[in-house]
Amino acid sequence: MPHEPQHTESQNTEPQDSVPRSSDLHGGADPQPAEEPVEKQTLLAAVGLSYFPIAFLARLPYAMVVVGVLTLVVAGRESLSLGGLNSAMVGLGTAIFGSFIGAAADRWGQRPVLLIVGTLNSAALIFLTWVVFSPLPDAVVLIASFAIGATAPQVSPMSRSRLVDIILRALPGSRQSKVLNGTMAYESAADEVVFVFGPFIVGLLATWLSPVAPIIGAVVMTLIFVSGFALHPSGRLAAEGAGQSAARGPVRELFTFGIFVVIAGVFGIGLVFGSTLTSLTSLMNDLGHPEQAGLIYGVLGIGSAILAISVALFSPRFSLWARWLSFAPLLLIGTIVLALSDSMAAVVIGLLLMGTAIGPTLVTLFSLAAERSQRGRSATVMSMAGSAIIVGQSLASALGGFLAEEAGTSTAIAVPVAAALVVLVAGLLNLIVRLRRRKRDVVHT
């Protein structure tokens, strides 16, 4: 692979951020056409036909974990607040170790890292299914949940990182920008599907079988599909990053204001997921069927998945900052409708509005994360963003569970409104990043 020149701020003179750019992704100028490999003209040819179904199924266990733990603990310990607290422990484990898992993949390659954490995660899930119904104290259950989050395989961010690397290495420079935009749209749509229908699957399994079934299902899927993703031939390209430590951008570039606002936005989306799910769980718990919350929650994914996929068709003139500020208010409106709803029809309308906004917003956020990743740090940044979702989801589940138990469903269902405000505020802060870039570009020109 040709070595790309080191990035300097003066190299970027275009203020628009509507699509990811290879110079932003890897900290250098775009490769010269003469140096580009041309034998593989499409992403599908580069990764192989089997990649996308394997990568899609491999991220399902991660999406099932938070609500699966919540459902299992509520059933085994008969406490919604304890269930929410365990969900928060999953998020805490992910918050502490998720980025380190991504950094390890950047250094040693995705394959060994995924195989190790996948095995450890399966063991932690099995341990939780036993300890919840054991006479051991709640503290041991919390430790098990923390271990689940700490060992969660970062399939989604690693898939993004892997595809970005392959696009930049295998596709001609003239096609990279368009393919990157479409890839981020697909990846976010895939995340939308699994993060919405993961709880839906949990609800089905818990309703038809038992609260233990979703956890056992997650174990089986982790061992089969996470391992399959790790061993997929496309992983060899990602593994090449292990030998490129000298080319990685400085660690300080992981803590810029531009990356911070993106992580804050993704965190807000996680808050929306967790608080909405807990509110619905509280509602269904009032009706005596808490395990069916995931079924109602599936409504959120209808507009979300469709709109996320359609982002690939958006005009390049519809820049990322504008997309963020266009869909975040719609998300806020949807949460308000949900909070004020007094019938199931109103609940469905609120969830549909929220889903319509969440899909494009997630595409935008991960596109910005890819654009602002430095050379050799893409898996780390993507893991930071992926961890932010699960952390937000877990914290909101804990807060919502506490409020539902102490103050009732009417209070808990207001939390999604605050979560949507986080997404909107982060979008406004992103304007500062854009203005700084425009000012910098004007100075350098």
Residue 316 has what pLDDT?
A: 67
Cα gap 66→86, rounded to integer Å: 8
The answer, yes or no, to whether residue 22 has pLDDT greater than 60, is no
CA distances from 286 to 80, 280, 340, 393, 410 (A): 11, 10, 18, 22, 12
- Say what percent of the chain tops pLDDT 70: 74
Domain boundaries, the chain: 50-444
Q: Which position has the higher pLDDT, 190 or 323? A: 323
Q: Give the Cβ contact number of residue 344 at 10 Å.
A: 10
- Banded model confidence at residue 46, pLDDT cuts 50, 70, 90: confident
Q: Among 141-155, 161-175, 236-250, 265-279, which stretch is predicted with the lowest mean pLDDT?
A: 236-250
Residue 343 has what pLDDT?
A: 73
Residue 391 has what pLDDT?
A: 79
Q: Among 51-65, 98-112, 280-294, which stretch is predicted with the lowest mean pLDDT?
A: 280-294
Residue 287 has what pLDDT?
A: 61
pLDDT tens per residue, range 126-140:
999 999 998 898 899
Cα gap 311→149, rounded to integer Å: 31
Residue 268 has what pLDDT?
A: 93
- Is the CATH number of domain 50-444 2.60.40.10? no
Maximum average pLDDT range among 150-159, 219-228, 268-277, 395-404: 219-228
The answer, yes or no, to whether residue 33 has pLDDT greater than 60, is no
Closest CA to 120 of 230, 261, 219, 29: 219
Task: Report the mean per-residue pLDDT for the chain.
Answer: 76
The answer, yes or no, to whether residue 191 has pLDDT greater than 70, is yes
Identify the burial level of 343 via C-beta atoms within 10 angstroms of its C-beta, where 0-12 means exposed, 13-18 middle and 19 or more buried.
exposed
Would you say 282 and 412 are in contact if contact means Cβ atoms under 8 Å apart? yes
The answer, yes or no, to whether residue 116 has pLDDT greater than 90, is yes
